[in-house]
Structure 1
Amino acid sequence: MITIATLEDIISLEKLINSAYRGETSKKGWTTEANLLEGKRITVDELTEIIENKKNTILKYTKNNQIIGSVLLANEGNKLYLGMLTVSPELQNSGIGKQLLHEAEVHVLALGLPKIVMTVISIREELIAWYKRHGFEDTGAREPFPLNDADTIIINQPLEFIVMEKII
């Protein structure tokens, strides 16, 4: 079941997102960043700030009272930003990500916005290909990769984001 996350979900979301992006548990899935970055992907404080911002919506995918997927949707006025699409590493390739993307499209239509935009680390070729299969296109725009205090790059290559979009 996909519903809107609340402040009560923050601890579960923090564990899920960090387990899917960083550390040993993330290596069970194909969307891991553990070979690129060390440190936490998100903190409880950052999630609290995101949820308290009325422009943001985090959708959560719940099964058996456990959050196993989530996605951040941020209303940026003329577009919807999609970020942190997360599925539990053990459940990746089960269609949960595709269902969350579909709900993001329902959300953008309800807001009356013309497109969904997102950023993906440029060297994540398999992830970029997955988004392209789901209708996203590389806009050609690039953005620098921001590091927070907890991030450490573990490869000898500068990171940048490619900007992708899907016109709705």
Structure 2
Amino acid sequence: MKITQASLNDVKELNNLVNSAYRGEELKKGWTTEAEILDGIRIDEKALELLIAKPKVTILKLTNQSGKIVGTVCLEVKSHKLYLGMFAVSPLAQGNGIGKALLIAAEHHAIENNCTRIIISVISSRVELINWYSRHGYASTGASIAFEDIEGRFGEPKVSVINLIEMEKVLNM
């Protein structure tokens, strides 16, 4: 498996991976899901193209032996913080260390960019995901935001209240 920076040539495959990992039919084969909470797509090709073009954004992709993208994460440097989002692993490949490898790559990217902490937002009802991040050194900051206050399009709510909690990992530089 290999982790490299995604390019515009990867947009279609990244779009398929992210949407299948968050809400697609394959999702039922993985251990994480937003399907009970959100409907619709997580991202589209145009949004991915815009992200790739942003100067402080890096999208990493993890490819398997046959060159297929099976994991991805979007990293944005803001001052001395690295914002981690759009973290997706193919439901068919979950449980094989792909997520952990991408988190380690994100930490390296943070250190290379003089970031002292990594920030993520997680849906508060996704307890299994919050626990997974906790096992990897992330802790709640106590901050949260209502889903409807987020800029951009991340899907259509299926439940009345969705809150995102902020978690962070402080890096030892």
| Count of equivalent residues | 167
Regions of 4+ moved over 6 Å = none
Ranges in structure 1 where 5+ consecutive residues have no aligned partner: none
Residues 42 and 153 in structure 2, CA contact (< 8 A), matched pair in contact too: no
Query: What residue number does 2:51 align with?
Result: 50
- Answer yes or no: is 1:153 the counterpart of 2:154: no
In the TM superposition, residue 150 of structure 1 has moved relative to its aligned partner by 7.3
- Residue 166 of structure 2: aligned partner: 163
AA of the residue aligned to 1:151: G
- Deviations along 1:2-60, one digit per CA (max 9) or x if unpaired, are 00000100000000000000132212111211111110000001100100001100000
Q: How does 1:118-157 map to 2 (within 5 A)?
A: 118-145=120-147, 146=150, 151-155=155-159, 157=160
Q: What is the alpha-carbon distance in structure 2 between the residues aligned to residue 148 and residue 27 of structure 1?
A: 26
3-state DSSP class of the match of 1:18? helix
1:24·1:34 contact (CA, 8 Å) conserved in 2?
no
Output the CA distance in 2 between the equivalents of 1:104 and 1:149.
Answer: 24
> Structure 1 length as normaliser, TM-score?
0.95
What are the within-5 Å matches in structure 2 for residues 52-67 of structure 1? Answer: 52-63=53-64, 64-67=66-69
Give me the identity figure in percent. Answer: 47
Q: How large is the RMSD of aligned CA atoms in angstroms?
A: 1.3
Distance 1:22 1:87 in 2: 12
TM-score normalised to structure 2 length:
0.93
Shift of 1:85: 1.1
8 Å contact kept, 2:27–2:33: yes
1:95-154 deviation line (CA, Å, top 9, x unaligned): 000000000000001011100000000100000000000000000000121385672222
Q: Which of 82, 86, 89 is equivalent to 1:87?
A: 89
**Which residue identity is paired with 1:125?**
V
How far does residue 91 in structure 1 lie from its aligned partner after superposition? 0.8
Question: Contact 1:23–1:38 at 8 Å: present in 2 too?
Answer: no
